[in-house]
Amino acid sequence: MLTVRTREELTAATRDLRGPSRKVCLVPTMGFLHEGHLSLVDRAHDLAETVVVSIFVNPLQFGPGEDLGTYPRDEARDLALLEARGTDVVFVPTVEEMYPAGDPQVTVSPGPMERRLCGAHRPGHFRGVLTVVAKLFGLVRPDVAVFGRKDFQQSVLIRRMARDLNLGVRVETGPIVRESDGLAMSSRNAYLSGPERTQAVGLHRALSATAALFGGGERRAAALLAAVEREIANHPLLSLQYAEVVEPEGLEAVNSASPGDVVALAAFCGTTRLIDNVELS
């Protein structure tokens, strides 16, 4: 496994590992890896002969008062996990390497979908996400890239960016990986205290209750979201920020749910913001 830290080293490494019959798959991450990230690496091996993973905590996607300075980091552990998973190249740039002239003057606008779901509560977040992903696509030149479904809005926007801007990258989405009690794996779970961790499972229970209602024939979005609110109310350390039923392409809220629509939510568990979603089927 090669660990590279500059754009020049990355270009040289991917050039040497790329060939007429060898595809390259990129897995962008912010590090502090868990089994959810590693499942994306496994998926990348199924999709391409060369797997590149980036580890970069991107300041552009953090707003004022968010956890940029305290975001969990453990590079040595991350590299060991990636090597054990057969990763070919790991790109670990500094902020100065990614943005040598400071904050970029040209960024990628998410368009109207930025105002939906998480974007409504984190202004500028997805502009930062799309900008850094576009830079990584330009640096790595992957054939395919893999993102996790837990960050549902992010994956939809990145796929739309790749399509609308003709970036030549196929965007794949890996399933949510959960703890044994159903909590979606997240690097930010490390922030949770013992009691908070116990109650955080309420997010998954709320979504499961909604999916069960839908499976039983309920189609009214208001009724499905009421089930979310009832379950969250059973967990006093959880504070719901939003819950919506949306169609999966444009993220527009629906009044009547159909198979394939998504229930997405965000909630604070103590001071930690967690997200989760479920596809209705």
CATH architecture of 2-174: 3-Layer(aba) Sandwich (3.40)
Closest CA to 22 of 51, 49, 57: 49
First to last CA, the chain: 40
Token pair in block for residue 259: 């198979």
Look at residue 16 in the predicted model and tell me its pLDDT. Answer: 82
Helix (H) or strand (E) holding 51: strand 50-55
- Per CATH, the number for 187-279 is 3.30.1300.10
Q: Per the structure block, which two tokens stand in for 189?
A: 């779970």
In angstroms, the CA 10 to CA 33 distance is: 21
Task: Quote the pTM value.
Answer: 0.96
DSSP 175: P
Q: Where are the domains of the chain?
A: 2-174, 187-279
Helix, strand, coil share (%) of the chain residues, nearest 5: 40, 20, 35
Report the alpha-carbon distance of residue 141 to residue 154 in Å, rounded: 20
Task: Mark 38-49 as b/e (b = at least 16 C-beta within 10 Å).
Answer: bbbbebbeebbe
pLDDT of residue 17: 83
Catalytically annotated residues: 37
- Amino acid letter for position 95: V
Burial class (CB in 10 A: 0-12, 13-18, 19+), 166: exposed
Going residue by residue through the chain (281 aa), what tens digit of pLDDT does each one get?
999 999 999 999 988 888 778 999 999 999 999 999 999 999 999 999 999 999 999 999 999 999 999 999 999 999 999 999 999 999 999 999 999 999 999 999 999 999 999 999 999 999 999 999 999 999 999 999 999 999 999 999 999 999 999 999 999 999 999 999 999 999 999 999 999 999 999 999 999 999 999 999 999 999 999 999 999 999 999 999 999 999 999 999 999 999 999 999 999 999 999 999 999 99
Q: Which residue has the tokens 């794996």?
A: 185
Residues paired with 276 in a beta bridge: 265
Nearest Cα residue to 6 out of 56, 60, 51, 40: 56
**Tokens representing residue 162 in the block:** 């790749």
User: Which residue from 215, 211, 201, 212 is spatially nearest to 267, judged by alpha carbons?
Assistant: 201
Query: How much is the pLDDT for 262?
Result: 98
User: Which residue in this structure is represented by tokens 């009547």?
Assistant: 256
Sign of the CA dihedral running 94, 51, 153, 127: positive
Say what angle helices 75-84 and 35-47 make with each other, to 10 degrees. 40
Helix, strand or coil, per DSSP, at residue 202: helix
pLDDT the model gives residue 20? 76
Q: Which amino acid is at 25?
A: C
Q: Among 32, 119, 40, which residue's Cα sits nearest to residue 71?
A: 32
Under 8 Å between Cβ of 238 and 200:
yes
**Contact present, 143 and 25 (Cβ < 8 Å):** yes
Token pair in block for residue 83: 């090597």
